[in-house]
């Protein structure tokens, strides 16, 4: 199954899902009429798109409908699709040119960080890259073990320390090991929960400083993992991480567990941080590079 089919399968979970509602609203379009736009805005808001992004989409659609004199539902669908794709921004890859490059994976507990790292390890090692996983979640011993299982599954390198040790030291050792072994990509797991929130942000900052000091030249991506089923709550988390950790991309997991998915628009419009991957299941190959065009197509077909 490709991106399109997986997204469609995910979003078609319930009868009350986003695509069904969107498409029935669009089918009711018979020319410029305020009721249609209000219904569309409501549908978008109910699909987790968020008030701001929904209003933006509908305002833009209203203008396009007027400018082009659109009367038919097919044309209105195409116009809406164009707008949604534009709102999602360009499709893009992670910048991982240096050897090694680093991917820091952050997010609150249970969103799917470790699983995503396992999937990324699979993806990049299949592309012929030498990957090393760093067990930066030292808060729980089980966390390193879970990551170790993923490393073994994909046959990639793995660096861990004891429970309770300093995550920055794990990252330091990972960088040394990566240089010695000519590793292409270091992927760092981090804790989702510590004794308190400021500890968590301090720990991420410390990891950052160690990388800045040892490998200022290395390409580095900081990916925030968000659970799509938490809807608008994810946005508050994202804003906090953006402020304290600096983010270069979002991974939206568990899209297979929600019939909504509009959260993708809320994230890009509120944060200006691109969605790079979506998770659509628990298996190693259930991670898909995000494609705005195909996503919008899946919603509107």
Ligand X SMILES: Nc1nc2c(ncn2[C@@H]2O[C@H](COP(=O)(O)OP(=O)(O)OP(=O)(O)O)[C@@H](O)[C@H]2O)c(=O)[nH]1
Q: Which is nearer to Mg ion, 148 or 289 (CB)?
A: 148
Region binding Mg ion by CB under 5 A among candidate stretches 2-10, 45-53, 57-65, 139-147: 139-147
Rounded least distance, CB 155 to ligand X, Å: 20
What value, to the nearest 5°, has the Cα angle with vertex 120 and ends 116 and 121? 115
Rounded least distance, CB 157 to ligand X, Å: 19
Check binding of 115 to Mg ion (CB under 5 A).
no
Q: Which is nearer to ligand X, 215 or 280 (CB)?
A: 280
Q: Helix axis angle, 51-68 relative to 34-46, nearest 10°? A: 150
Q: Which is nearer to Mg ion, 77 or 113 (CB)?
A: 113
Q: Which is nearer to ligand X, 25 or 116 (CB)?
A: 116
**Strand order across the beta sheet in which 185-190 lies:** 157-159, 131-136, 185-190, 101-106, 220-227, 249-253, 275-279, 287-289
Which residues make up the interface to ligand X (CB under 6 A)? 107, 109-115, 137, 143, 192, 253-254, 256-257, 279-282, 286
Check binding of 114 to Mg ion (CB under 5 A).
yes
Helix intervals (H) in the chain: 3-11, 18-27, 34-46, 51-68, 73-88, 113-126, 141-154, 167-181, 197-214, 233-245, 263-271, 292-300
Rounded least distance, CB 116 to Mg ion, Å: 9
Instruction: Let me know: does 148 contact 131? Beta carbons within 8 Å.
Output: no
Q: Which is nearer to ligand X, 113 or 160 (CB)?
A: 113
Instruction: Give the number of residues written for the chain.
Output: 301
Rounded least distance, CB 9 to ligand X, Å: 12
Rounded least distance, CB 203 to ligand X, Å: 13
Pairing of strands 249-253, 220-227: parallel
Residues lying near Mg ion in the complex (CB under 5 A) are found at 113-114, 143
């Amino acid at each position: 199954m490709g991106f399109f089919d997986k997204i469609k399968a995910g979003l078609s979970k319930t009868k009350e899902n986003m695509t069904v509602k969107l498409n029935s609203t669009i089918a009711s379009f018979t020319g410029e009429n305020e009721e249609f736009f209000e219904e569309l805005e409501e549908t978008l808001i109910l699909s987790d798109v968020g008030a701001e992004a929904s209003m933006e989409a509908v305002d833009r659609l209203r203008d396009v409908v007027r400018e082009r004199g659109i009367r038919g539902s097919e044309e209105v669908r195409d116009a809406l699709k164009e707008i949604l794709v534009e709102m999602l921004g360009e499709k893009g890859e992670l910048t991982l040119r240096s050897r090694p490059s680093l991917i820091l994976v952050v997010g609150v507990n249970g969103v799917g960080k470790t699983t995503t790292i396992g999937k990324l390890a699979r993806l990049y090692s299949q592309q012929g890259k030498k990957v090393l996983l760093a067990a930066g979640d030292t808060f729980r011993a089980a966390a390193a073990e879970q990551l170790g299982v993923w490393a073994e599954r994909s046959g990639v390198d793995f660096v861990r320390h004891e429970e309770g040790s300093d995550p920055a030291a794990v990252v330091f050792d990972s960088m040394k090991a990566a240089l010695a072994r000519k590793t292409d990509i270091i992927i760092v797991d981090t804790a989702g929960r510590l004794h308190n929130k400021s500890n968590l942000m301090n720990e991420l900052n410390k990891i950052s400083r160690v990388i800045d000091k040892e490998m200022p030249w290395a390409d580095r991506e900081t990916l925030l993992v968000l659970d799509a089923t938490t809807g608008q709550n994810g946005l508050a988390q994202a804003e906090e991480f953006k402020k304290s950790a600096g983010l270069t991309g979002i991974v939206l997991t568990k899209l297979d567990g929600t019939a909504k998915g509009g959260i993708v628009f809320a994230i890009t419009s509120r944060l200006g941080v691109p969605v790079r991957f979506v998770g659509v299941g628990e298996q190693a190959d259930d991670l898909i590079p995000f494609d705005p065009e195909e996503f919008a197509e899946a919603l509107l077909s």
